[in-house]
Amino acid sequence: MGFSKIIRRNPVSGNQRGFTLIEMISAIVLMGVMGIFSIQFIASITQTSQLTTGQKELVDEAKLAMEYLIRELRVATEDAADIAYTADSITFDKYSGYTVDTSKIGIKYAWNSGTQILTRTSGAPTLTSTTLATQITGFTVAESPAAGSHFYVFTLTLQGPNGENFTLNSGVRPRSTL
């Protein structure tokens, strides 16, 4: 009698738990598609960040070179005849030297179109040359057209990593030539 009352349950019928093979494959495919889009999104953000960083470094270097030139020309000696310029260079003497470079005579900023660099060269007591900026595709020096104005205008053109151009303009009137 005791063995006849055992109830057997059918494993297929009743409350089923778990996932079918189709549901699992669908979930894996869906997660794969979402992963691909996520990777592409992250890659584009990384590429944009690297491009922006490269452009920023290039422009920062050129801005620093331009600022250095402007500050130094601002303290040029009072005789405007001591300031000589061509289309891509300027040479002048100044009242005092800097701690790093004590030269006061023959300060020259020049652009070399072949190497695309802007250099600063100082004369006495020893000739020293410093590269201020690279990837410079153009550098022009011009004096204001007004007679006796002694106002110098500089244009610096840079080429970015993807061929884009940046132009920096600045001007200065040496304090001593007023």
Q: What is the pLDDT of residue 8?
A: 58
Q: Kindly tell me the sign of the dihedral angle through the C-alpha atoms of 127, 130, 135, 137.
A: negative
* DSSP secondary structure string for all residues of 79-99: -GGG-EEETTEEEE-BS---S
Q: What is the pLDDT of residue 14?
A: 55
pTM beyond cutoff 0.85: no
Q: What is the pLDDT of residue 5?
A: 59
Q: What is the pLDDT of residue 176?
A: 62
Query: For each successive 10 residues of the chain (178 residues), what is the average pLDDT?
Result: 56 67 93 94 89 84 90 79 85 77 82 91 76 90 76 89 85 72
Q: What is the pLDDT of residue 13?
A: 54
Q: What is the pLDDT of residue 33?
A: 94
Q: What are the tens digits of pLDDT across the range 25-66?
A: 999 999 999 999 999 999 999 888 888 887 888 889 889 999
List, in sequence order, the alpha helices (H) in the chain. Answer: 21-74
How many distinct helices (H) and strands (E) make up the chain?
1, 8
